[in-house]
Amino acid sequence: MTFPRPRLLSSQPLLLGVGFGILILIGIAGAFLSNQARREADWIEHTLQVEQQISTLLLQVRRAESYKRGYVITMDDGFLSDYQKAANGIPPAYDRLKLLTADNPAQQQFVTELGPLLDQRLADFAEAIDAMQNNDIATAQALVRRMEGRDHTERIRELAERMTATEAGLLVDRRQAAARTSILLAAVTIGGAILIMLLGIASVFAVQRTTRQRDEAEKGLIDTNENLEKIVEERTADLQEANAEIQRFAYIVSHDLRSPLVNIMGFTAELEAWRDEALARIESLRERGAPAEDADEGDQDEGELAGEFNEAINFIKSSITKMDKLINAVLKLSREGRREFHPEPIDMAQLLDGIISTVAHQTAETGTTIAVRELPQAKSDRLALEQVFSNLIDNALKYLKDGVPGEIEITGRETPLQVIYEVKDNGRGIDPKDHERIFDLFRRAGQQDRAGEGIGLAHVRTLVRRLGGRMDVSSELGQGSVFTVTLPKYWNVRSERSAA
Amino acid sequence: MTTPVTIVMVEDDEGHARLIEKNIRRAGVNNEIIPFTSGGAALDFLLGPDGSGTVNKGNPLLVLLDLNLPDMSGVDILKRVKENEHLKRSPVVVLTTTDDAVEIQRCYDLGCNVYITKPVDYEKFAHAIRQLGLFFAVIQVPPAA
């Protein structure tokens, strides 16, 4: 399965990275701009403070002047104390203004010029008041007139106005800057938000596309799986059909083979009967006509003839008997292959006890012990398992080591999906090269000193396979054998259907 | 017995037919044995050219039937005989190589009277047929209706 656009998968982290980058930039720019906006606000406030301070100063000067004037006119001491208060307020107000405008050289210049003018003014006030206190009214009045004549007052007012104008200009500039900054801040924020949104939309699309591709891939995978299952099912059905056909074939063939065998057997027996009759006739003929001395010789000849005849007949008969057994074996196998299984839960210990009781006389005769350990329950066909285990136990009993009392042990265990049974013996064992051969039909291994056609294990393996299981052997010559029967824990439909 | 029983032997293998006849004779049965090697010929004889079975009306028949025939299954012949209103009381002895339980059941279900498996061992075979012959000698066979 190939993905047509693998780069798309890597574009998502990229989008995410770009998004984070933009967020960080917006954060930095926002922090910077808001800091600037705060500073600009400070500056605006500062300007306002300066303006206020200028008017405060002017107010003090004017108050001092008017109280002084009042004193000069009325000579009232109340005015004098008010004047003192106002006059005392002027230097701190001036100092504060100077401090406030320290950042601005142009304003500083005005302030510097303002300082001596104010001092002069205060000195003039003080002189006039002194003159009044000394009752020198004329001098005081002259002083006042002189003061009025001077353009100090005018100059102070002018300076103050110019400073106020400068600050007003600054205020306008600073307000504009602040407005720009806030517009910039808004622009950065909105722009960033839009970019993030765009990125979000892009990544949503990307995710959708990947999801769609993944869904398609998944669907493809499911299709493939379903196809695979179908293919497996078809193959299984084919195999089952082929198997069934082989079994039908074996059945028919063995039947048809049996039929001529009946004739061979029958007419051989008839021949035997005729031989006896023929010999009897020869005998009677000879008795009637032959000379006595030849009789013994003739008897000898006839004896020899009868012997050879018997030998031939016996060979024919034993061959036919063997052939009949083989055909019966094939028939039995093919019939077993056609039998339908009926799975049921089986208590294996009970099943084995049943088998062991049927071989009791053999075990007693050979002094064999059969031990059945704890066995897991099986869900399978009872008759089939009986045949399997009785074959295995029969074999174990049949091929004991000479002179050694047999020990047969049946053990079992289970895995999540299988139940496994082992039939272990201490018998003569099987050469590893014969491990496959022993399961073949009509094939046997080792010393051929026991009766049998070589059917049992072939039958066992066929049965176990049909039960959905597996048959294994592990053995060494002279070391005993272990036959392992592995069965599925859960009876599956497939193996049931193969019985049909 | 007014009319002697005729034994109709349906057996495709002539060797078998011969061996069967020999052993029946050995049991002292001398009834006429009509052999057929194919199912078609046997049916023609049993049911007649019109297929009604009237041709054998009044004849006591005993059918000795093999199941494996070249042209049809002996089961079909059994069915036809037992379905025929004239022949249905005639005893049918199935003598075949099959010892399949299902097949045996089927034959009895269809009305077969005796089912015998041919043993391969000739002694047993001969013995079985002779027993059958003895059985033939004593059984009552009704004439076809």
- pLDDT tens per residue, range B93-136: 998 887 788 889 999 999 999 999 888 778 888 888 888 888 88
pLDDT of residue A497 exceeding 50? no
A329 neighbors A444 (Cβ within 8 angstroms): no
A-chain CB neighbours of B73 within 8 Å are none
Span A27-69, pLDDT tens digits: 898 888 888 888 888 888 888 888 888 888 888 888 888 888 7
- A39-181 carries CATH number 1.20.120.1730: yes
A-chain CB neighbours of B97 within 8 Å are 255, 258-259, 262
Task: State the amino acid at position B135 in one-letter form.
Answer: F
How many CB atoms within 10 Å of residue A225?
Answer: 10
Mean pLDDT of A350-377: 89
- A195 burial level (CB within 10 Å; 0-12, 13-18, 19+): middle
pLDDT of residue B62 exceeding 70? yes
Q: Can you list the alpha helix ranges (DSSP code H) found in A75-104?
A: 77-100
| C-alpha–C-alpha distance, residues A313 and A94, integer Å | 156
**pLDDT band at residue B65 under the 50/70/90 scheme:** very high
**pLDDT band at residue A493 under the 50/70/90 scheme:** very low
Can you say how many angstroms the Cα of residue A481 is from the centroid of all Cα atoms in its chain? 44
pLDDT at position A246 is 79
A-chain CB neighbours of B15 within 8 Å are 260, 262-263, 266-267
pLDDT of residue A303 exceeding 80? no
From residue A357, give the alpha-carbon distance in Å to each of A352, A354, A406, A409: 9, 5, 16, 15
Alpha carbon of A344: minimum distance to chain B alpha carbons (Å): 23
From residue A423, give the alpha-carbon distance in Å to each of A245, A359, A390, A432, A456: 33, 15, 11, 17, 15
pLDDT at position A420 is 93
pLDDT of residue A500 exceeding 70? no
Look at B68 and A259 and tell me if their CB atoms are within 8 Å.
Answer: yes
For residue A259, the surrounding DSSP H or E stretch is: helix A152-289
Q: Write the CATH number of the domain with boundaries A343-499.
A: 3.30.565.10
Task: State the amino acid at position B1 in one-letter form.
Answer: M
For residue A485, the surrounding DSSP H or E stretch is: strand A481-488
pLDDT at position A295 is 53
Nearest by Cα to A351 from A419, A425, A430, A427 = A419
Alpha carbon of B63: minimum distance to chain A alpha carbons (Å): 20
**DSSP assignment of A325-356:** HHHHHHHHHHHHHHSPP-EEEE-HHHHHHHHH
Look at B15 and A260 and tell me if their CB atoms are within 8 Å.
Answer: yes
Question: Does the complex come out with an ipTM higher than 0.85?
Answer: no
pLDDT at position A291 is 57
Three-class secondary structure of residue A44 per DSSP: helix
**pLDDT band at residue A494 under the 50/70/90 scheme:** low
Pairing of strands A418-425, A481-488: antiparallel
Alpha carbon of A264: minimum distance to chain B alpha carbons (Å): 9
Mean pLDDT of A281-290: 81
Would you tell me which residues 70-129 of chain B have a C-beta closer than 8 angstroms to some C-beta of chain A?
97-98, 100, 118, 120-123, 125-126
pLDDT at position A292 is 53
| C-alpha–C-alpha distance, residues B43 and B36, integer Å | 9
Structure tokens at B31: 């009834």
pLDDT of residue A499 exceeding 80? no
Mean pLDDT of A319-344: 80
| C-alpha–C-alpha distance, residues A181 and A33, integer Å | 6
**pLDDT band at residue A331 under the 50/70/90 scheme:** confident
pLDDT of residue A317 exceeding 90? no
pLDDT at position A55 is 86
- A278 burial level (CB within 10 Å; 0-12, 13-18, 19+): middle
Residue with tokens 């439909």: A493
Structure tokens at A460: 């066992």
Which position has the higher pLDDT, A297 or A91? A91
Residue with tokens 């083989």: A326
Alpha carbon of A269: minimum distance to chain B alpha carbons (Å): 7
| Residues above pLDDT 70, as percent of chain A | 92
B108-116 LR contacts (CB < 8 Å, sep 24+)? B110/B75, B110/B78, B110/B79, B110/B82, B111/B78, B111/B82, B112/B65, B112/B78, B112/B82
From residue A22, give the alpha-carbon distance in Å to each of A25, A27, A152, A484: 5, 8, 61, 70
Nearest by Cα to A341 from A238, A495, A485 = A495
Q: Where are the beta strands (DSSP E) in A366-443?
A: 369-372, 378-381, 407-414, 418-425
How many CB atoms within 10 Å of residue A439?
Answer: 19
**How do the domains of chain A map onto residue ranges?**
39-181, 196-338, 343-499
pLDDT of residue A412 exceeding 60? yes
> 3-class secondary structure for A146-162?
HHHHCCHHHHHHHHHHH
**pLDDT band at residue B36 under the 50/70/90 scheme:** very high
Q: Can you list the alpha helix ranges (DSSP code H) found in A401-469?
A: 456-466
| C-alpha–C-alpha distance, residues A259 and A451, integer Å | 26
Report the range of poorest mean pLDDT among A57-71, A143-157, A170-184, A434-448: A143-157
Three-class secondary structure of residue A378 per DSSP: strand
Report the range of poorest mean pLDDT among A109-118, A308-317, A332-341, A408-417: A332-341
Q: Which of A263, A267, A274, A320 to mutate to test the interface with B (most CBs of B within 10 A)?
A: A263
pLDDT of residue A335 exceeding 80? no
For residue A33, the surrounding DSSP H or E stretch is: helix A7-74
**pLDDT band at residue A294 under the 50/70/90 scheme:** low
Span B14-30, pLDDT tens digits: 888 998 998 899 888 88
B-chain CB neighbours of A270 within 8 Å are 19, 22
B64 neighbors B95 (Cβ within 8 angstroms): yes
For residue A366, the surrounding DSSP H or E stretch is: helix A360-366
A211 neighbors A301 (Cβ within 8 angstroms): no
Report the range of poorest mean pLDDT among A8-22, A108-122, B101-115: A8-22
What average pLDDT does chain A have? Answer: 82
pLDDT of residue A250 exceeding 80? no
pLDDT at position A496 is 43
pLDDT at position B1 is 45
